[in-house]
Amino acid sequence: MNKLQKLRIALIGLGDIAQKAYLPIAANHAKVSAILCTRNLQVLKKLALQYRIDEAYSDLNTLIKHRPDAVMIHSTTESHFELVLKLLNAEIPVFVDKPLCYSIKEVEVLLNLATQKRTLLYIGFNRRFAPLIQSLSQQQQKPVLIDWQKNRVNLPTNPRGFVFDDFIHVADSLRFLAKGAIDNIQVFSKKQKGQLEILQVQWQQNETLLSGTMNRISGGAEERIEYYTQDNKWQIDELVSGVHYQNGKQHPLVFDNWENTLYKRGFIGLFDDWLNALQTNKFDDNRIQDIWDTHDLCECIVSKIV
């Protein structure tokens, strides 16, 4: 790609997450020419006008015929398999909101197809790119213990939806921070009338002990990470603030008041990494393995709950 040429990136499924996070970044990015695609004509017209986007489609097949450089999928999880299947067969790089699919068999089919086509398949885990989380991943000392809690209010749901739609953030983030093979998984859960309310999962990666908890009948929505190395503790709240404890002293972890929320929560770093993967244009088998490992961990958790 010419350095001055913008990447034509289409966004499919222009709902809440696309409008809050990805569209504001893509539509204002110096390296991107955003394209819109949704069957909702009212939304299509409104957003095209709002962001001054000239290229917009209401049909995936028409979009594919116009050969965008890449596509970002923000539609419901149930729609992911068919959409990704079409795009990979057309050899168009794809970004997908987590999870790739609810079915581990469908995940396997898509990963195998991406490998066969040597076409980029990218899953959007924004927490990996939140600056305070990235700073933990760059610590020289290996973690000895990591605890991640993510709670919600009055949102019990079926075990597969609970794990793949929401707890996957916790599972992927812990796996990302600890590195190494997963061992000794233990799963504890509380269900009511078939609906999963609380989940706690513990496992080990090398010398790191990991614990992930999600309470969806909590009194408040919150997210807290506690990360320990020898003689150190980091506590991070809502991805955007925290404290580093060392030698009995506390060091606050804060951002400038004017810092962009999408940056603090990792979306800008995630988007830039996605663009870098596109521009590098080199298929990475390790990325496929990484996607598989997170989804396989979630499948293992669901099987132990059920």
pLDDT of residue 306: 82
Specify whether 133 is located in the same domain as 261: yes
Please give the mean pLDDT across all residues of the chain. 96
Average pLDDT over residues 262-284: 96
Q: Are residues 84 and 132 in the same domain?
A: no
**Burial class for 86, CB neighbours closer than 10 Å (0-12, 13-18, 19+):** middle
pLDDT for 199? 98
Judging by DSSP bridges, how do beta strands 222-229 and 232-237 pair with one another?
antiparallel
Structural domain includes residue 291: no
Q: Give pLDDT, residue 281.
A: 86
Residues 96 and 150 in one domain: no
Are both 146 and 75 inside the same structural domain?
no
Please say if the pLDDT value at position 66 is more than 60. Answer: yes
pLDDT at residue 33 greater than cutoff 80: yes
Cis-peptide into 68, omega within 30 deg: no
Statement to judge: residues 219 and 300 lie in one domain? yes
Same domain, 167 and 261: yes
**Residue 226 included in any domain:** yes
Percent of the chain at pLDDT > 70 equals: 99
Residue 257 covered by a domain = yes
> Do 132 and 76 share a structural domain?
no
Residue 45 and residue 189 in one domain: no
Q: What burial class does residue 158 get, using C-beta atoms within 10 Å of its C-beta: 0-12 exposed, 13-18 middle, 19+ buried?
A: middle
Type of residue numbered 145? L
The reply to whether 134 and 205 lie within a common domain is: yes
Q: pTM here?
A: 0.95
Q: Which spans in 122-241 are helix H?
A: 131-137, 159-161, 168-178
- Give yes or no for residue 2 having a pLDDT over 70: no
Number of structural domains the chain divides into:
2
Judge whether 111 and 121 are in contact, CB under 8 Å: yes
User: Within this chain, do residues 156 and 301 fall inside the same structural domain, yes or no?
Assistant: yes
Q: What pLDDT is stored for residue 5 in this prediction?
A: 86
Residue 1, domain member (yes or no): no
CATH number at residue 228: 3.30.360.10
> Confidence class of residue 35 from pLDDT cuts 50, 70 and 90?
very high
**Sorting pLDDT into bands at 50, 70 and 90, what band is 98?**
very high
The string of pLDDT tens digits covering residues 175-202 is 999 999 999 999 999 999 999 999 999 9
114 and 172 share one domain: no
Return the DSSP state at 2. -
Residue 174 forms part of a structural domain:
yes
Asked whether residue 239 is assigned to any structural domain, the reply reads: yes
Angle at 215 between CA 21 and CA 167, to 5 degrees: 50
Identify whether residues 110 and 166 lie together within a single domain: no
Q: What is the CATH number of the domain that holds 106?
A: 3.40.50.720
pLDDT in tens, 213-259: 999 999 999 999 999 999 999 999 999 999 999 988 999 999 998 99
Q: Specify the pLDDT at position 4.
A: 65
Domain with 142 in it: 127-267+296-305
Average pLDDT, integer, range 94-104: 98
Which whole number is the average pLDDT over 141-153?
97
- Determine what percent of the chain is predicted with pLDDT higher than 90: 96
Average pLDDT over residues 53-66: 97
Taking 80 as the threshold, does the pLDDT of residue 106 lie above it? yes
Q: Is residue 262 part of a domain?
A: yes
What pLDDT, on a 0 to 100 scale, did the predictor assign at position 1? Answer: 45
156 part of a folded domain: yes
